[in-house]
Amino acid sequence: MDKRMTVLRGCVLVLVLVLAVSGCETLRRKFTRRKRRKTAQEEMVVVPRDYSEHPFPNDVLYVQYFTYWKAWNQEWVARLSERGAHKKIVSCGEQTLVNLEKMRTYLTDEKQKELDTSIEKTRALLEEIEAHTSLLPSQYSGYRYRADRILSTVNRRFDMRHVKGAIR
């Protein structure tokens, strides 16, 4: 048995020496990192555009902002009717005011002065609501009434049929 073990050890030793001398190029290649090839980057083509003029006429933009204003004001009245969250009520009021001011930019000076009264009423109402973080039920109904009056006034006086000739 000693002789067999010596022969077996000799064979293993010879096999290890043969493998070490011959090398394992394919095995070594398998586990080495390959260099990344750089991909050719395309050059960006930048074409300057002139955005000085808006693609839509002023009457279309006025109708768009009027529609936005109307939707936000109706939402404002609804939130005041159902005594919604204070943040949502203030947010609706702010959006109403923003869209009123954008509508104002497309009107002539005479109509701007008329719209300014509604803008001031909206601003005053919004500031009052912002000042009171907790509202009483009587305050909700009073604020809702005032917001509804602003809605009906602006809707009646500044609909597209009434301001068609007053748009710049």
* 117 falls within a domain: yes
Domain tally for the chain?
1
109 falls within a domain:
yes
pLDDT at 166: 86
CA distance 32 to 43: 33
CATH of the domain at 77: 1.20.120
Which of 149, 150, 89 shows the shortest CA–CA distance to 119? Answer: 150
The two structure tokens encoding residue 84: 């919604």
44 assigned to some structural domain: no
Q: For each of the chain's 168 residues, which pLDDT tens digit applies?
A: 788 888 888 888 887 777 666 665 666 676 777 788 777 788 888 888 877 777 888 899 999 999 999 999 999 999 999 988 889 999 999 999 999 999 999 999 999 999 999 999 999 999 999 998 887 888 888 999 999 999 999 999 999 888 988 888
For 5, phi then psi, to 5°, come to -65, -40
0.75 cut: is pTM over it? no
In a domain, 45, yes or no: no
For residue 114, the model assigns a pLDDT of 92
- Residue 37: inside a domain: no
Q: Does residue 33 lie in a domain region? A: no
Do 167 and 107 touch, CB atoms closer than 8 A? Answer: yes
The range of the structural domain enclosing residue 71 comes to 58-166
Two structure tokens written together for 43:
């050059």
Residue 31 lies in a domain: no
| Domain assignment of residue 4, yes or no | no
